Amino acid sequence: MRKRTVIIAIAIVIVAVVAAIYIYAYHQAPEAAVATIRVGTLPDDDALPLFVARDEGIFERYGLSVELMPFHSAFERDAALTAGEIEASISDPIAVILMQAAGIDVKIVGVEMGKDPELGGFCIVAAPGSDIKTVEDLEGKTIAISRNTIIDFVTDKMLGDVDAKRIDVKKMPERVQMLISGDVDAATLPDVLARYAMCQNATLVASENTFGGNLSFTVTVFRGDFVNENPEAVRKFIKAYGEAVNMINTNPEAYKELAVEVAKIPEEVVTEYSVPFFPPPQPYPETFRNNFEEVVAWALNKGLIRDEIAFEDCVWVA
C-alpha cells in the first residue's frame, strides 16, 4: 500500500513537472511573425482611411503591422509595387491592368471610391487669363497630364474627339504650378487641386462627374504573392479600413486636419474643403466589369498592352 502511494506521488510530481515545462516553453516560444504591409499612397484624401486606421490603432488592434509610404506620383508608386518595395497601394484599375500585362501579378481586393458619381473626380482646368471655356476650345492647345495613368484615361474620355497636345507631367504639384504660371494651356487635376487652381483664377473647363458617372475608380491593390501567402492579413486589412471609414463618416470634421495634411491641400482652399464621405470597402463588383473592359480596350488602343487582360485575373474576393 505504501509502495503504491509512493508511486502515485511520483507520478503526480512527474505530471506537474511536465506541465510546468510545457507552460514555460509555450510562453517563451516566439510569437508567429506578423506580416508587415507597406502601403503606397499619393497626396490625395482617398488615402485618409489608412491614416485614420494607423493613428487610431485600428490596424494594431487587428494584429497588423502597417507602414504607410507616400509617393509623389503614380509612376513612383507603381514602380515600388512592381519592385516589391511595397505590398499594397491605393491605386486604380489602369495601373493594375498595365502591371498584369507586364507579368506582375497584382490583385484588386476592394473598391473604395468611384461607385457614387458624386464622390471625388478629376477636372480639366484652363490657365489663368486663358480664353478657354469649353472642351472644344482645347483643340490644338497644351494640356498637362500624367501619361499612361488614370488621368490620361479620364482626359481622353472628357476630350472626346478634341485634339489637344498632351504634356506628360507626372508629379501633381509640378502640374499645378505649370498651369498657374501659364506654361501649359490646361491641366487635368484632382478636384481639390482644381479648386486651388481656380482660386488662382484658373477656369474650370470640364469635370468627370458631369459625364453621367465616374470615369475613374479608387481601388486597394495588393501584390498577388502577398495575397496568396497572407489571405487572412488581407481580410483583416479590409476590415480595419472599414472601421476607419465608419469613424470618418460619423465625425468627418474630427479628421479634417489630418485630411488636409495627407492630401497636401493648399491653405487657400482649406476653409471650403470638406472631408468626403467614404463608401464602405467592398469587393470589386461584377457590375463594374463594363468599366474594367472599357479601360482594357483603351489600353489596347493606346498600344499600352498587347493582349486582353481578364477581369477575373485582376480581382480577388475575400
- Domain residues for the domain of 205 are 122-210
What total of structural domains would you count in the chain? 2
Same domain? For 82 and 51 the reply is: yes
Same domain? For 224 and 295 the reply is: yes
Average pLDDT over residues 73-79: 91
- Beta strands 218-223 and 106-113: pairing type? antiparallel
Looking up cell 508567429 gives: 32
Of the pLDDT bands very low, low, confident and very high (cuts 50, 70, 90), residue 35 is confident
Q: Domain holding 171: CATH number?
A: 3.40.190.10
Query: Residue 10: inside a domain, yes or no?
Result: no
H-run or E-run covering 192: helix 191-199
Query: Residue 25: inside a domain, yes or no?
Result: no
pLDDT tens profile 278-302? 888 877 767 678 888 889 999 999 9
Same domain? For 137 and 185 the reply is: yes
Same domain? For 232 and 296 the reply is: yes
pLDDT tens profile 111-169? 776 544 444 578 999 999 999 999 999 999 999 999 998 899 999 999 999 999 999 99
Query: Residue 26: inside a domain, yes or no?
Result: no
User: Is the pLDDT assigned to residue 238 strictly greater than 90?
Assistant: yes
Same domain? For 236 and 255 the reply is: yes
What's residue 12's pLDDT?
Answer: 44
- Between the alpha carbon of residue 312 and those of residues 139, 222, 284, 317, the distances in Å are 38, 15, 10, 10
Sign of CA dihedral 290, 291, 294, 299: negative
User: Is the pLDDT assigned to residue 58 strictly greater than 70?
Assistant: yes
